[in-house]
Amino acid sequence: MNSLSLLMGVVCLLVGHWGVHPMVNNYNAQKGLYSLAPITNVQIEKRYATVNNICSAVLDSDQCCYLRGVAYIKFVRACEILRAEHPKLKFIIYDAYRSPKIQLKLWNKVKGTPNARYVAYPKCISMHSLGLALDMTLADSLGKPLDMGTDYDAFTLLAQPRFESQFLRTQTLSKAQYENRLLLRSIMKRAGFFQLQSEWWHYEALHQKFAHTHYKVIE
């Protein structure tokens, strides 16, 4: 059995065990990516496929979100944790795999602006372009995002987890907003993800150094 067949077998086993229902064609063999759309407690709102983003422009024509196998398996686990512990909640996915072409478009939109420091320079290889990163939040049963204190892609200090204690003390970040962040963080960390300390919405399936050494960019 080759590595691809083994991975797909593991995914099917986990999916069947955890009650996540993917479509038969959720695997993109050409790119080696899995679609997140079929997962029942996931809501896709891919911001860069709309004008509702920091660029106010459509950067990506593909409305779907994808992950590489190792990240997909961890995310399926996160979905099961959420379903078991908070069945009335769901994940909203704002972005996942991002092609180098889209990353370049995003960089070209923000370069020369204060927001440029928050966007990976294309040659530095974004974890999104490896298919190993997610931008996400939690939503209630009606699909309304929980209040996290800022919107997605709010490039401010308030959006950065490393400053949460400071903003809690000044009540700039409320206890309820902080607890919503902690809930998302707890689920994702237990599923094996790591959080970027400058963005409450950004999670990575592997440490960056390991990922950049062992995985190639998906074109």
Nearest in space to 49 (alpha carbons), one of 41, 40, 37: 37
pTM over 0.75: yes
Give 124-134 pLDDT, tens digit per residue: 889 999 999 99
Residue with tokens 């891919």: 46
Tracing tokens 């660029």 back to the chain, one arrives at 55
- Is residue 186 a contact partner of residue 118, using CB atoms and an 8 Å limit? no
Give residue-wise pLDDT tens across range 51-75: 999 889 999 999 999 999 999 999 9
d(CA 201, CA 207): 16
- For the chain, the domains span 3-143+205-214
At the topology level of CATH, where does 3-143+205-214 sit? Muramoyl-pentapeptide Carboxypeptidase; domain 2 (3.30.1380)
Q: How confident is the model at residue 25 (pLDDT cuts 50, 70, 90)?
A: low
Phi, psi (5° rounding) for residue 90?
A: -145, 165
Distance CA 193, CA 74 (A): 7
Task: Classify the phi-psi angles of 149: left when phi > 0, otherwise alpha if psi is within -120 to 50, otherwise beta.
Answer: left
